[in-house]
Amino acid sequence: MEASAPIIVIKKKKGHGGHHGGAWKVAYADFVTAMMALFIVLWLMNASKQVQEAVGGYFKDPRGTSKRVGSNKNGSDTFVALKKEDMNKLKDELLQSIHHLDPHDKLKNQIEITVTAEGLRIELMESSKGTFFELGSAAPTPALRDLLQALAVNLGQLPNKISIEGHTDSMVYSQTKDYDNWDLSTDRANEARRLMVSEGVRPEQIAQVRGFADTQPRLLQNPQDPSNRRVTLIVQYQVVGGSEVALPGSITGQNADTSANPKPAPAASGQAPGRAGL
C-alpha cells in the first residue's frame, strides 16, 4: 500500500497595509475647516462694529446689491452711496430696528421719520414727563441710550453726513441768565452726538451740532407743546455729478456747532426753576 502524500498547509502572514485609504484626509480637512471657522469668529468678536456689519451684510446679500461698508487695498474704509430713492428703504430698516427695540410701540408717538428735501429726518420728541432726557436737563434717559444705539448701528454704515439739532418749547427755561433754552437745546444735541459716536457713528460723519431753542417749533399753533422739545437727526443729501444722492460733502469736513456755546447743564434732579418741565 502506497503511503499517502503529506498535506501541506501554507499560512500567509498578514501585515499592516501601506495606507488606510483617504479617510484620514477627510477628517483632517474637517479639523482644519473647524479651526479656520473658530479663528474667524474670534477675529469678528474683536473687530469694529462696521466690520461686523459688513461681514453680516455679505452673508445676507452675497451679490453685493445692497448698501455696505468694506475696506480697500490700503485698509481704509470705503462706502457705497445710497441713491435718493433708497432713503425710503433706509427709513423702513430704521423703523424695523426701532420696532425690535420697542415691540409694544410705547415710543410710537415720540418718534417720527420722514424723507424731506434735505434728507432723512428723524425726530425724537419729548413727552410731558420726559421720554429721552431728564426734565430740565441734558442728561439722557435709558430710552434715549437704547434708541440711539440702534440707530447708530445702521447710520454708521453709511457715507452720509449727519446733522443733529436740539429744540425746546417756548416756555422760559429759568429765571437766571446763566443758562437758557439756547444752552439746553445745544447741550441735548451734543449729548446725542456723543452717544451716537460711542455706538458706531464715525466722528467725521457729524456735519453739524446745532441748538435752536424755541425758534423752530414743531407745532406753530401750540409753541408750548411738549413735542416741540425734540432732538432731530438729519441724514443729508448732496448733489454729485448732476444727480442728488445720499453722499453729502467731503468726509474730511470739520464738525460745526453753529449755536450758543454749550455750558454745563444744571443737575438733573427734577425740573429747573421757572419751568413746568422741559
Q: What is the CATH number of the domain that holds 200?
A: 3.30.1330.60
**Mean pLDDT, range 8-29, rounded to an integer:** 71
- Distance from C-alpha of 195 to C-alpha of 267, rounded to nearest angstrom: 19
Element (H, E) at 186: helix 181-198
Of 38-52, 112-126, 160-174, 248-262, which range is least confident? 248-262
Tell me if 269 is assigned to some domain: no
| Residue 100 grid cell | 425690535
d(CA 81, CA 84): 9
Which ranges of 13-172 does DSSP label H, i.e. alpha helix?
A: 23-45, 49-60, 87-101, 142-155
Percent of the chain with pLDDT over 90: 29
> What pLDDT score does 68 carry?
43
Q: Are residues 89 and 215 in the same domain?
A: yes
Query: How confident is the model at residue 131, as a pLDDT?
Result: 86
Same domain for 104 and 228: yes
- Under a CB-based contact definition with an 8 Å cutoff, are residues 208 and 257 in contact? yes
- 274, part of any domain: no
- Mapped onto helix, strand or coil, the DSSP state of residue 239 is strand
Question: Do 101 and 233 belong together in one domain?
Answer: yes
First-residue to last-residue Cα distance in the chain: 130
Give the integer Cα–Cα distance in Å for 96 and 258: 33
Give the residue numbers spanning the domain of 27: 23-78
- On whether both 89 and 219 belong to a single domain, the answer is yes
Q: How many CB atoms lie within 10 A of CB 237?
A: 22
Q: Which three cell numbers stand for residue 117?
A: 428735501
Angstrom CA distances, 227 to 57, 125, 187, 239, 275, stand at: 36, 5, 18, 32, 15
Strand pairing report for 243-246 and 82-83: antiparallel
In a domain, 208, yes or no: yes
49 and 157 in a single domain? The answer is no
Asked, for residue 73, whether it belongs to a domain, the answer is yes
Mean pLDDT, to the nearest integer, of 162-190?
87
155, 208: one domain: yes
pLDDT at 201: 94
Q: State the pLDDT confidence band at 142, using cuts at 50, 70 and 90.
A: very high
Q: Are residues 175 and 237 in the same domain?
A: yes
- Given a contact cutoff of 8 angstroms between Cβ atoms, the answer to whether 148 and 192 are in contact is yes
**Total domain count for the chain?**
2
